[in-house]
Amino acid sequence: MQEQRAGGHWKEQLPPERAYKRRAGAVAPAVEQDRAAGGRARRNVALGDGRLARASISLRLYRRTRRIRAYLRWSKDGKTQESYVCEVEHAFRGENLAEAWQRARDRGLLAVETLPLESTASSPGVRAAMRANRGKDTGPELALRKLLYQRGLRYRVNARPLVEIRRKADLVFPGDRIAVFVDGCFWHGCPDHYRPAVKNADFWREKIDGNRARDAETNEKLLAAGWRVIRVWEHEDLTRAADEIEQQLRRWRAAGVRRGATAAGR
């Protein structure tokens, strides 16, 4: 079945929903837009007074012509602004978003974000990641909590699995001795998305390497104490992560792995 359009139209039928609609359980909208644009710092528009606004791409299906159009949207003084970018024709939403961002850039609709002189970050993108990082209640953490709660699972938030270890897990299931960590890609050195800093390279290499070593040590101490450790990267599909956590919990509970029982390490 042909899904790409020909001669300005999709063949005989509407384009597939996956070409323009967000799928259920996908990553957060901001994360999706960041990926398509090539980084959060590449999503800015100039407001004309020295300020920048973060923009997003909206994909709209026009059923009569069977075309998908991309629009750049942002907010100025509390009011939504919009500019038409282009038509897109890929079979998948992510590809259409990426093309629209590139076309917006080519047309000069986007502004370049510069670093403050006092910043230690290597790029605007790194600075955005650093500023967005919080010790608790991050967007991915909140989303994962909600998904697990909807599945009937109850847990402690931002708690120490072991009192003697001064380290907190994002989610703790005390009765099952399970600790869940939601790791940010920048601060925890994600193998897929972490990019070494250029500015102050030695400082940041030492910092990220230290965080990785600390994570490994935390895992070892918890496993040695009979706990199980689950780590989720912030870029992962959180619905899938919640499903896997639920399945593992159910399986371990069925096997009788509760407090007071012998728990094998992961």
Distance CA 180, CA 156 (A): 10
In a domain, 174, yes or no: yes
pLDDT at 257 over 70: no
Verify that 57 and 179 share a domain, yes or no: no
9-45 pLDDT per residue, tens: 456 788 999 999 988 777 788 889 988 998 888 899 9
Sheet order of strands, 56-62 included: 56-62, 67-76, 79-88
In a domain, 264, yes or no: no
Instruction: Label residue 118 by pLDDT band (50, 70, 90).
Output: very low
Instruction: Label residue 123 by pLDDT band (50, 70, 90).
Output: low
Give the count of alpha carbons within 13 A of 199, CB side only: 12
Q: 74 — phi, psi (to 5°)?
A: -155, 175
pLDDT of residue 226: 93
In a domain, 25, yes or no: yes
Question: Containing domain of residue 55, as a range?
Answer: 5-106
CATH number of the domain to which 244 belongs: 3.40.960.10
Verify that 147 and 177 share a domain, yes or no: yes
Verify that 130 and 88 share a domain, yes or no: no
| Average pLDDT across the chain, whole number | 82
Taking CB atoms within 8 Å and a gap of at least 24, the contacts of 96-100 are 96/19, 96/20, 96/59, 96/68, 96/70, 97/32, 97/33, 97/36, 97/37, 97/57, 97/59, 97/70, 98/36, 98/37, 99/70, 100/36, 100/57, 100/59, 100/70, 100/72
Query: In the predicted model, what is the mean pLDDT of residues 114-138?
Result: 54
Instruction: Label residue 139 by pLDDT band (50, 70, 90).
Output: confident
As for how many domains the chain has, the answer is 2
Q: How many helices (H) and strands (E) does the chain have?
A: 6, 11
Instruction: Label residue 2 by pLDDT band (50, 70, 90).
Output: very low
Verify that 94 and 148 share a domain, yes or no: no
In a domain, 59, yes or no: yes
